[in-house]
Amino acid sequence: MILAGKTLRLVFVCTTLLICFSAFAGAQTDIAAMSGAGQDIKKIEIADGIYQFMTMRDSYVRQLNSVVIVNQDDVLVFDTNTRPSSARLILVEIRKITNKPVKFVVNSHWHPDHWSGNEVYAEAFPGVTILATERTRQIMMNVANEFPVRFQSELKTMQASFDKETASGKQDDGTALTAERRNRDDANLRDYKTFMEESINLHRVFPNATYVDHLTLYRGAREFRFMSVTGDAEATTVLYLPKEKILITGDVVSYPIPYISQPPTRHIETLKALAQLDVDVIIPGHGPAFHDKNFLDLEMQLLETIVKGVHDSLQKGMITLDDVQKAVTAENLREQFTHNDPDLETRFRSRVQALTKLEVREARGGQDFPQ
Ligand SMILES: [Zn+2]
């Protein structure tokens, strides 16, 4: 994803989400105490020598995955977190697992939750190969300077919202501010400040190896197939391990509410292609590892529902975004994503609206409705 929610409400972790998570997860270890500051990381062994490290909340995103693969002579790390401090905790765990060096880091795409810990591996393993698509590297270099500025602006918005609710004793929706809610918002704000400080102080390390379409890497008995696809960002790298039947998707697949920011039909094409692969485990960019293709199919259904709904609406004669967004709700799929959790309901509705806007643009030949 590109930016965390605009209000404090969107930053909290719901119990339903945690219940969903435990239903999916295999054997796991909690690395640090519960915290919203990127320290609460689950280690899940997916297969022999393959570990999913899921950072539950880091003030920017939730359930963020970094995948560690131990090879015959070295280690490969796929995606490096939002906060360098999270990547540092994961590196401590890597060193408990093996004394082999990290020789390869892969960045799935340019969104800051997938490559901001590169410096940790570059410092610890000088000469480490950091791989991404050529287009991803180019975008990273173009946008890196924006991140701290945007996070500072987000912090100001959060602080203003917090000050307003504490002064008025009411939340944004007019309901009374409870002590519990106030404490939670206060904790979120403090966590966000530490995130912003980290983002200002971090040293951006860009990929030093790139590819365009696909690349195969052989390390010991393992074969790594990297493919450039359109996911939540253009030229996203997905990694397929054919022998282990494991697919690591970056944000081409993301849970619980999919991140989508590219033309929807291109994202659908990618999901269709990935669905053809012989896979036992799918590790998404965010969320638990899946041992079937059900969530990938559900994400595809959501996109297809929106595309069809938008085209039908336009062909019926709708000529404003507002009208199309009222008509296209993907209501039939809502519960499968939200499980009736109120926080997820809010996120689902706003994601469907954003997705509808994207598809209107795509359906109109790349143009939004005239204002
Ligand atoms: Zn992400």
Q: Does residue 368 lie within any of the structural domains?
A: no
Q: Does residue 298 lie within any of the structural domains?
A: no
| 199: enclosing H helix or E strand | helix 179-201
Between the alpha carbon of residue 55 and those of residues 211, 276, 286, 291, 341, the distances in Å are 28, 29, 9, 20, 21
The ipTM value here is: 0.99
Taking the centre of ligand 1 as the mean of its atom positions, its distance from the CA of residue 63, in whole angstroms, is: 9
CATH, residue 18:
3.60.15.10
* Residues 68 and 176 occupy one common structural domain: no
91 in helix, strand or coil? helix
> Domain span at residue 337?
303-363
Taking the centre of ligand 1 as the mean of its atom positions, its distance from the CA of residue 86, in whole angstroms, is: 15
Q: How many domains does the chain have?
A: 3
Q: How far, in Å, CA of 91 to CA of 28, rounded?
A: 17
The answer, yes or no, to whether residue 100 has pLDDT greater than 60, is yes
Q: What is the mean pLDDT of residues 125-133?
A: 98
* Residues 107 and 153 occupy one common structural domain: no
pLDDT of residue 35: 64
Q: Does residue 3 lie within any of the structural domains?
A: no
* Residues 170 and 285 occupy one common structural domain: no
* Residues 14 and 152 occupy one common structural domain: no
In this predicted model, what pLDDT tens digit does every residue of 270-313 receive, in sequence order? 999 999 999 999 999 999 999 999 999 999 999 999 999 999 99
In this predicted model, what pLDDT tens digit does every residue of 143-155 receive, in sequence order? 999 999 999 999 9
Taking the centre of ligand 1 as the mean of its atom positions, its distance from the CA of residue 178, in whole angstroms, is: 32
Q: How far, in Å, CA of 352 to CA of 329, rounded?
A: 7
pLDDT of residue 31: 56
Taking the centre of ligand 1 as the mean of its atom positions, its distance from the CA of residue 346, in whole angstroms, is: 19
Taking the centre of ligand 1 as the mean of its atom positions, its distance from the CA of residue 280, in whole angstroms, is: 22
Q: Does residue 287 lie within any of the structural domains?
A: yes
Taking the centre of ligand 1 as the mean of its atom positions, its distance from the CA of residue 130, in whole angstroms, is: 18
DSSP for 51-71, please give it. Answer: EEEEEEE-SS-EEEEEEEEE-
| 230: enclosing H helix or E strand | none
The answer, yes or no, to whether residue 268 has pLDDT greater than 80, is yes
Taking the centre of ligand 1 as the mean of its atom positions, its distance from the CA of residue 90, in whole angstroms, is: 17
Task: Tell me which of 263, 292, 321 is where a domain ends.
Answer: 292
* Residues 119 and 240 occupy one common structural domain: yes
DSSP single-letter state for residue 171: -
Task: Tell me which of 292, 318, 335 is where a domain ends.
Answer: 292
Bridge-based pairing of strands 75-78 and 102-106 is parallel
Taking the centre of ligand 1 as the mean of its atom positions, its distance from the CA of residue 21, in whole angstroms, is: 17
Who has greater pLDDT, 72 or 5?
Answer: 72
Confidence class for position 14, pLDDT limits 50, 70, 90: very low
Confidence class for position 174, pLDDT limits 50, 70, 90: confident
pLDDT > 70 in the chain, percent: 91
Task: Tell me which of 201, 218, 239 is where a domain ends.
Answer: 201
In this predicted model, what pLDDT tens digit does every residue of 310-355 receive, in sequence order? 999 999 999 999 999 999 999 999 999 999 999 999 999 999 999 9
Taking the centre of ligand 1 as the mean of its atom positions, its distance from the CA of residue 365, in whole angstroms, is: 27
126 in helix, strand or coil? coil
Q: How far, in Å, CA of 184 to CA of 199, rounded?
A: 22
* Residues 121 and 213 occupy one common structural domain: yes
The answer, yes or no, to whether residue 255 has pLDDT greater than 70, is yes
The answer to whether the bond into 256 is cis (omega within 30° of 0) is: yes
* Residues 225 and 356 occupy one common structural domain: no
Q: Does residue 39 lie within any of the structural domains?
A: yes
Taking the centre of ligand 1 as the mean of its atom positions, its distance from the CA of residue 362, in whole angstroms, is: 23
- Whether 50 and 34 have beta carbons less than 8 Å apart is answered as no
Q: Does residue 371 lie within any of the structural domains?
A: no
- Whether 361 and 262 have beta carbons less than 8 Å apart is answered as no
